[in-house]
Amino acid sequence: MKKVIIHSLNFSPDGVSTAYLYNDIALSLKERGYEVVVLTSTPHSNVVPEQLAGQPLHWKIWGLCKVSDYHGITVYHIPQKKYKSTLLRLLCFVYLHIVALLLGLCMRQIDLILSPSPPLTIGWVNLILARAKGCKVVYNVQEIYPDILKLKDGLIQRCLSKLEHKVYNGSDAVTTIDQVFYDTIVGRFEDQRKLHIIPNFVDTDLYHAYEWRGVLDPTVFHDNDRLKVLYAGNIGYAQDWEPLLELAARTQDIAIDYIIIGEGVSKPYLEQEARRRGLKHVRILPYQPRKLMPYILSYSDLNFIFMSKKMEDDGFPSKVYTIMACNRPLLVMSGEHTPIVNFLSDKHCAKLVTDRSVDKMVDWMRQLTRAELQEMGQNGLDTIQKHYTKEIVTRQYADLVQDLIGA
């Protein structure tokens, strides 16, 4: 039996999108007949107590790594914490790479290593392991580094660009999630045949339209006729919050509730500004368990994603797939040639505002009908079912692995 190592910063029971994505890829590879082993960190990005209880971690080598079982897949967890100190976080990050390298070197018969970005440095560790073990490497570009960091030309930028070139060209195959990403990085390859487009996907067994009444807390999720405009996810720098605040301020006379769910560095600012501007119809709620998210999306009428101008070219929010799978339309603000707009432009499931005009959004919201929203939502669902289900996309990863190392 051939062995595939998944080397990822996040994996179950961590509760972030990359973890959920690679959970399903790991299971698909296991079903294809490969032995799958995971190298990852201890849960630190979004710790979900319920998931941690269902997949308990035990010390394998005290101080170095813990181990857990994910549906018959052995998962090695290297300790990580989200320290406030930049120095401590950096040291923890270096420790993660050193221990992952040592664990990989101690493993027998590795045939292929598969990793997502970020971080870029994981790809470099994999190249070292590949040379030592004589195995293949597949690197999955979820975000483009160093571009996303927006660094000025200097020593750090040049070093990261050289590392990127080494990882891309040293890997046996590189996958990216979108045509815009492909077009951005294809010129950085000496052999462009290595680069493949494999999109992200959604688990349609979990994410589909539900009857939310009787499941969601009615004191929080009010059952009324007001239009419910939702954002659920990280409240951070990748999103532009000022247009949302302005849109909310200019539509106070319409029966609309703006609901923001999640945590992140921008949450205190958002809460403060909503209070200062008297936006009583803007409600900011804490993170909700993943099992409730399909019900929360079903509760909504429209979901908004306003991409930060600084980061809109280099990332693609995976929540787009889950929103579409739950038969809900989107309101998106992002540049004309950005990944999210490129993906949605021909799907007829989203209102796209590419010139960042709040005026256009206000006008659209005032003329909006529920029939239009329902039609947009159905268009999105049809697209997901045809092209972006878990079964369809994980099969593409399994096929790529089979092409590289055989069955």
**Quick check: helix, strand or coil at residue 376?**
helix
pLDDT digits over 41-65, tens only? 999 877 778 888 899 999 998 889 9
User: What DSSP string runs through 266-331?
Assistant: THHHHHHHHHHTT-TTEEEE----GGGHHHHHHH-SEEEEEB-TTTTTS---THHHHHHHTT--EE
Q: Compute the CA torsion angle 133, 134, 139, 144 (nearest 10 deg).
A: 80
Return the ∠ at Cα 28 (arms to 25 and 33), rounded to 5°. Answer: 130
Phi, psi of 49, rounded to the nearest 5 degrees = -55, -40
pLDDT digits over 176-200, tens only? 998 989 999 999 999 999 999 999 9
Give the pLDDT of residue 73. Answer: 98
Please tell me the CATH code under which domain 3-201+389-405 is placed: 3.40.50.2000
Task: Indicate if the pLDDT at residue 203 is higher than 80.
Answer: yes
Q: Compute the CA torsion angle 181, 185, 186, 187 (nearest 10 deg).
A: 150
Fold of 227-387: Rossmann fold (3.40.50)
User: Do β-strands 330-333 and 136-141 pair in parallel, antiparallel, or remain unpaired?
Assistant: unpaired
Give the pLDDT of residue 148. Answer: 74
Return the structure tokens found at 377. 């939502």
Return the structure tokens found at 310. 């600084």
Phi, psi of 301, rounded to the nearest 5 degrees = -105, -25
Give the pLDDT of residue 293. Answer: 95
Separation of alpha carbons 286 and 324, rounded Å: 23
Q: For residue 292, give the nearest of 324, 330, 262 by alpha carbon.
A: 262
Rg (CA), the chain: 22
- Greatest pairwise CA separation for the chain in angstroms: 66
**Quick check: helix, strand or coil at residue 136?**
strand
Say which range, 103-107, 164-168, 311-315, has the weakest mean pLDDT.
311-315
Separation of alpha carbons 308 and 331, rounded Å: 14
Q: What is the pTM of this model?
A: 0.85
**Cβ(99)–Cβ(65) below 8 Å:** yes
Would 3-201+389-405 and 227-387 be classified into the same CATH topology? yes
Instruction: Find where tokens 């509730």 sit.
Output: 257
Average the pLDDT over 193-208 and give the result. 94
Mean pLDDT of the chain: 93
Separation of alpha carbons 269 and 64, rounded Å: 38
Helices and strands in the chain, H and E counts: 14, 15
Instruction: Find where tokens 């009857």 sit.
Output: 211
User: Do β-strands 227-232 and 195-197 pair in parallel, antiparallel, or remain unpaired?
Assistant: unpaired
Phi, psi of 234, rounded to the nearest 5 degrees = -70, 130
**Half-sphere exposure of 281 toward its Cβ, with a 13 Å CA cutoff?**
19
**Half-sphere exposure of 7 toward its Cβ, with a 13 Å CA cutoff?**
31
C-alpha of 110 from chain center: 27
**Cβ(41)–Cβ(57) below 8 Å:** no
Give the pLDDT of residue 17. Answer: 83
pLDDT above 90: percentage of residues in the chain: 79
Average the pLDDT over 242-265 and give the result. 96
pLDDT digits over 100-131, tens only? 999 999 999 999 999 998 889 999 999 999 99
- Other Cβ atoms closer than 10 A to 365: 18
Domains in the chain: boundaries:
3-201+389-405, 227-387
Separation of alpha carbons 163 and 145, rounded Å: 10
**Cβ-proximal residues to 383 (8 Å cutoff; 6+ apart), any chain:** 324, 347, 349
- Other Cβ atoms closer than 10 A to 153: 8
User: What DSSP string runs through 2-29?
Assistant: -EEEEE-S--TTB-SHHHHHHHHHHHHH
pLDDT digits over 360-382, tens only? 999 999 999 999 999 999 999 99
